[in-house]
Structures are given as C-alpha cells and as structure tokens.
Structure 1
Amino acid sequence: MTKINYPYDLEVGDIIFTSIGNELFRQIASASLCWSNHVGMIIGHNGEDYLIAESRIPLSTTTTLSRFISRSNNNRYGIRRLATPLTTEQKLALVSQVPTRLNKLYHTGFDYDSSRQFCSKFVFELYDTALNIQVGKKETFQELLGKNPNAKLNFWKFWFIGQIPWERTTVTPASLWHHPELSLIYRSHEDIH
C-alpha cells in the first residue's frame, strides 16, 4: 500500500470536522448554525494514513482519516489546531486519554453529564482532561436553541419524545469549530466558514 498524500501536514491533537448527512446530524448543524456536525481528533499515523479517535454511533473508536472523510457529505471537511503549538508532552498526554474513552456507547440525547460519549464531548474531554484546555463550550439546550430563532423545535420535541430537556448541558461541534483559540489549517470547500 502507498502512503496517502494530503495537501498539508497534520499533527496529533488536530481536530477534524465533517458533515454527516443523516437527518439527526443535519438538524444538529442547523440548530447550532454551523456547517459541521461531527468531529474527531488526530492521534497518530500508521505509516499509510493519519489515525483519528472519534465517538460515533454505536461506539467510540479509532479509524483512518480517509475513512473519516469518506463518511462526510461530498467529502467536506475542515481542520483546526490550537493557535499555540502543542509540545510533545502535551500530544502524548492527549493520546494517553484516548484508550479509556474507546468502546463507549454513543449518547443520542447529547447529555454531557452522561457516562456515554458523543463526538464533541469526546474531543472536548480529551483536551480538558489531558491539558486543562477547554476547546468549545458547554451550554444548555436552552442556550443553544435560544441563539437560533429558526431552530426546528418540533424536530427536537419529536427526538426527545415530547419534551426538550432545556436544562441539559451539551457541547456541540459548532462550539469547537468557532472556538477562538483554534486556527484553521485546511478546508476542503469554499463554503466552510
């Protein structure tokens, strides 16, 4: 097998953003006013491709960057990195947090306080636990949906079986994408802002 050549060099800790096409994830993007609805983090390279750690349905796992991108609508993806470069020690600390978070069930109710995982919580916790750096923002559904007057509340009432958990804390891919301490490294399409 030949090594995959990307138009940039990636580093451990880089956060990869994609856009999953199913209805739930389209509604996440719409509600949070962001093109991206899924994230993962670079944890290394296997000699052929970069490796990604992610929380996905049904379990958190690792995969290759090429497989991660192939699940995105039109292979759309963006990469962001902390503006302050990570040291080797910081990168090792991030990677050391991954194994205990793998094979955890995905939380389709996006409850940050659950023992289950979801993608943005997975990446947020890696940075918070390993480096005491919060990339992204925890917020309640009230805060999240309150920022978007066009949020489809009927979808979310249906999703939560009649009652939106307004006080539930979550963290979204959008809050990571727009985090001021992350710099854009690459975007695959011009419509990614």
Structure 2
Amino acid sequence: MIDSSDLGKLEIGDIIFTCIGTTLFRQIASASLCWSNHVGLIIGHNGQDYLVAESRVPFSTTTTLTRFIQRSADHRYGIRRLSTHLSDQQKAALIAQVPSRLNKFYHTGFDYNSSRQFCSKFVFDIYQSALSIKIGEIETFGELLSKNPNAKLNFWKLWFIGQIPWERATVTPASLWSHPQLELIYRSHDDIH
C-alpha cells in the first residue's frame, strides 16, 4: 500500500501498473517480458482514497486505488508519470475522456481496433485522445511474440482457439511501462523495474 507520506504525491494522469495473478494475465506478462499485466489511470480523489479508471473483466469502470492494488498478486504495483508533468487543463482533458469509455465490454482477444476495451488500450486511448500523446506502442501479435523466443505459443494458440492472429494490432501494459516519457514515481517492491 501507499505510505501516507506518499499520498500527496500522486496526481491525476498518473498511471498505475499491477500484476493480476490469473493464468491469462500471467501469460500476458510472460509474453511481453514485463512484470506488469494490468494498468489503470488515476482520475481523482474521493476524500478517502484515490480513484482509478480501468478496463477490466467484464466492463471498464472506476475503483479505489486500494481495491485496484488488492487485486494485484502480492499487492505489487508501480506508478509512473509523464515526465513533462501535466497542467490542470491537461488533467481536465484526461478526466473528460473517461465517462464515454466506461461500461464497455472487455476484449479478451486484445484487438486494438475493436470497439471493446482492454486495460492498456483504455489508458493509451485516453492519453492519445485527450493530449495527442501516445503512451505505449501499438504492435501486432507477430511483433510482440517475436520479441520473446520463450513465449508460450501453445497457450496463445489455445487462447485464440487454434490460431494466433499474428496481424492483429494490440497495445500491452509492458509498452506503457517502458515508455520513455514516463518516470517512476513509486514501486511497492524493489525488484520492480
């Protein structure tokens, strides 16, 4: 959990990364060579806790930071922020993008071009639409899986019912985590890099 001395340090637009422990999400982390497999966006504070907007199964929604972190394996999380820092106007623009993206079905096929949401697409699109900033990288499954020679292709063939959609565009939590314009604000464990 965030130490009370860190509470004042978080800002609207901060991106929080976690590690969901289910098989699917562990395979996402493994395939993308990153500890994180889930991501959300700080959108405010309700007087008791920070609020996080996220795309999760079954719908995109908002939750508290405490609940968001509690779903993470071993309560592992990291928070990154745009290094140029956001103005109040930019923060308002991010928040304005959230309502129209809530209550959308989660896309378990991680198709960026679908009308459905998934966590990294949700955050990527909010930043791109509000600020014309691409946090992360859109890539095909072929590009993603070719970066990891140890990716469990049999899992992904099974997940996609026999055939991996190699040309399908997606965006991963890993590409957001490693984005050069983001700086680390907080990490819960020393081995989070």
Same fold per TM (> 0.5)?
Answer: yes
Equivalent residue for 1:125?
A: 125
Task: State the 1:7 CA deviation.
Answer: 2.6
Residue identity matched to 2:15: I
Query: Whole-Å Cα distance in 1 between the matches of residues 87 and 24 of structure 2?
Result: 37
Which whole-Å CA distance do the structure 2 matches of 1:93 and 1:175 have between them? 23
Q: How does 1:3-14 map to 2 (within 5 A)?
A: 5=4, 7-8=6-7, 9-14=9-14
Code of the aligned partner of 1:70: Q
| SS of residue in 2 equivalent to 1:186 | strand
Provide TM-score, normalisation by structure 2: 0.97
TM-score by length of 1: 0.97
How far the C-alpha of 1:6 sits from its partner, in A, is 5.5
Q: Which amino acid aligns with 1:7?
A: D
Farther off after superposition, 6-15 or 108-117: 6-15
Deviation string 1:125-146 (CA, Å, 9 cap, x unpaired) is 0000000000000000000000
Distance (whole Å) between structure 1 residues aligned to residue 121 and residue 22 of structure 2: 20
| Equivalent residues in 2 for 1:150-169, closer than 5 Å | 150-169=150-169
Instruction: Provide the C-alpha distance between the structure 2 equivalents of 1:24 and 1:6, rounded to a whole number of angstroms.
Output: 35
* Count of aligned positions: 190
Structure 1: runs of 5 or more not aligned: none
- Partner AA of 1:85 in structure 2: H
Aligned to 2:135: 135
TM-superposed CA distance for 1:101, in Å, is 0.1
Which residues of 2 match residues 1-193 of structure 1 at below 5 A?
A: 5=4, 7-8=6-7, 9-193=9-193
Alpha-carbon separation, structure 2, partners of 1:6 and 1:66? 15
**Overall identity of the aligned pairs, in %:** 75
Mapped partners of 2:43, 2:148: distance in 1: 34
* Deviations, residues 25-63 of structure 1 (Å, cap 9, x unaligned): 000000000000000000000000000000000000000
Inter-partner Cα distance in structure 2 for 1:81 and 1:118: 20
Q: Which amino acid aligns with 2:6?
A: P
CA distance in 2, matches of 1:25, 1:32: 11
For the residue of structure 2 that corresponds to 1:40, the secondary structure is: strand
Q: How far is 1:72 from its partner?
A: 0.2
Shift of 1:191: 1.1
**1:78-100 Cα shifts (integer Å, max 9, x gaps):** 00000001000000000000000
* RMSD (CA atoms): 0.9
Letter matched to residue 61 of structure 1:
T
